[in-house]
Amino acid sequence: MKKLEGKVALVTGSGRGIGREVAHQLAAYGAKVVVNDLDQAPADEVVAEIRAAGGEAVACVGSVTAVDFPERFVKTAVDTYGGIDIIVNNAGYTWDNVIQKMSDEQWYAIMDCHLTAPFRILRAAQPFISAAAKKEAAEGKEVFRKIVNISSGAAGGNVGQTNYSSAKAGIMGMTKTLAKEWGRLKVNVNCIAFGHIETRLTEPFAGADSKTVNIEGREIKVGISEQLVERAKTGIPLGRPGTPKEAAGSVLLFCLPESNYLSGQVLYCAGGPR
């Protein structure tokens, strides 16, 4: 029997990068996955790949910052698969600037995506989780559910990332608080802080030739200069950045039954100690 068979997993930002790998790994272990992306095509592609491999998945497309998204996301899981067992708050991007040049729009865009959206999603899921946990307790069952929030080593501070660093530090506090609030509901709430993982957001570029991605109508520059990439490599004990598959593996660890007595923890997936 697959260790996550019968479980229902919701993964934000799972049409690309790390989230995509998370969705595939959860599905490979038997979970039914609600795939989310800003755009229809990548979400549908991941759903098709999971189904082709013999798994179950459905898409819930849209921005995690939309006011109606949390309820729609939760409803998709409950209406399609009848439950919620795993939530991975993974969606995110960076929009950098030094503080004197950072606009309110930049600040709120990143805070809304990385901190407010997870808060709203978990708040929307609480009624179902609470009711299910109380029913299971009355039946004498001990059923664990899993929340995995995604943070970053940048939570310790990064030049040009006041918004991102603040949001990623905030999600750690949210994790520890909900671990205390939801422990009685048998919910394990944990956090992964990524180091340098190779995705489209961290691709190296030379000179001013950086790429952009379109986030809700905004063209956001992404990538890291080649000099910064080389500098980062020298600080990684394992000698290289991580892959999305390796990053997703750390998320999977917190979703398996073996983590049932782990809660309120922050795990750094960074190729070595901070």
Q: Any idea which residues carry the catalytic annotation? A: 164
DSSP letter (8 states) at residue 243: P
Half-sphere exposure of residue 213, counting CA atoms within 13 Å on the CB side? Answer: 15
Strand spans (E) along 90-243: 145-152, 187-194, 204-205, 211-215, 218-222, 224-225
Strand spans (E) along 50-186: 56-59, 86-89, 145-152
DSSP letter (8 states) at residue 265: -
Helix (H) or strand (E) holding 269: strand 266-269
- Closest by CA to 113, choosing from 218, 1, 186, 190, is 218
Cross-strand partners of 41? none
Task: Give 173-196 as a DSSP string.
Answer: HHHHHHHHHSGGGTEEEEEEEE-S
Instruction: Note whether 112 and 34 are within 8 A (CB).
Output: no
Report strand pairing: 204-205 vs 145-152.
Answer: unpaired
